[in-house]
Structure 1
Amino acid sequence: MPKQKPRINFNKFFLISALAMSLTSCSLFIESMPKSWNHGFKPRPLTGTRGFPSADTEYGKGFKDGCNTSWDAVSKGLLADLNDRRYDFRRMQKSPDYNTGWWDGYEQCTYILDHDVV
């Protein structure tokens, strides 16, 4: 009786080969995000009044005005655009601290009020 050659099951061989190649190719080309991007997550600011700046400084006045503007934008929606923004343009030109405080307050209070928006 002649010996039979072992039969290779090509379906299993093809499946295992394709799986191995796909796993190794993905691992070669995936790059991690830079740490400076914070892995795509925006840090949640502290809520409450403890860490807020004093309203006696230019930065604090800008922060308060920016926070009030964001409160109006989130609570009133498009109607807030019709009202005057609390942004003192002359003070912004004279004091860069006011401008920085306004944008910081706007961003932080918007995130506190509407934290699901990224």
Structure 2
Amino acid sequence: MKLLFHPLLLISSLLFLVSCGAFWEPMPNSWNWGIKPRPTTGMRNFPSADTEYGKGFKDGCASAWDAVARGLLSDLKAKFDYKRLQKSSDYGTGWWDGYEQCTYIIDWEII
């Protein structure tokens, strides 16, 4: 019994670790966040930060991370580029989309 248990434990552990890849998709390289902790579910198909929409999405998502982590103190340093918004409304749309999506990924109980 003991000889059978160890290989089964090893195989099931390997299958479990391999299956975790189904829930993990790395953020686009253009986000350049390094090794910040990220949730392992719900993070799929983020836009690249090469477009105005993507840059706004990235900034909105960063603001959401700060808002959930630090609360009202995060309003002092909200990441929003007003000059970029004046040039393109896509930045503002991306910012709000990123803020909303990343807020509800992190703290889904927000009303």
Q: Normalising TM by the smaller chain, what interval?
A: 0.5 to 0.7
Deviations 1:72-117 (A, max 9, x none): 00001121122x2110001101101111000000000011111011
Map of 1:52 onto structure 2: 46
**Percent identity of paired positions between Structure 1 and Structure 2:** 66
Structure 1 runs, 4 residues or longer, greater than 3 Å off = none
TM-score (norm 2): 0.61
Hey, what's the Cα distance between the residues in 1 that align with 2:78 and 2:96? 13
Hey, what's the Cα distance between the residues in 1 that align with 2:51 and 2:88? 11
Choose from 68, 78, 85 the match for 2:72.
78
Hey, what's the Cα distance between the residues in 2 that align with 1:47 and 1:60? 18
Map of 1:89 onto structure 2: 82
Provide the aligned C-alpha RMSD in A.
1.2
Unmatched tracts of structure 2, length 5 or more:
1-40
Equivalences for 1:18-57 in 2 at 5 Å?
47-48=42-43, 50-57=44-51
More helix by share: 2
Secondary structure in 2 matching 1:77: helix
Hey, what's the Cα distance between the residues in 2 that align with 1:76 and 1:85? 11
Hey, what's the Cα distance between the residues in 1 that align with 2:80 and 2:75? 13
TM-score (norm 1): 0.57
Map of 2:58 onto structure 1: 64
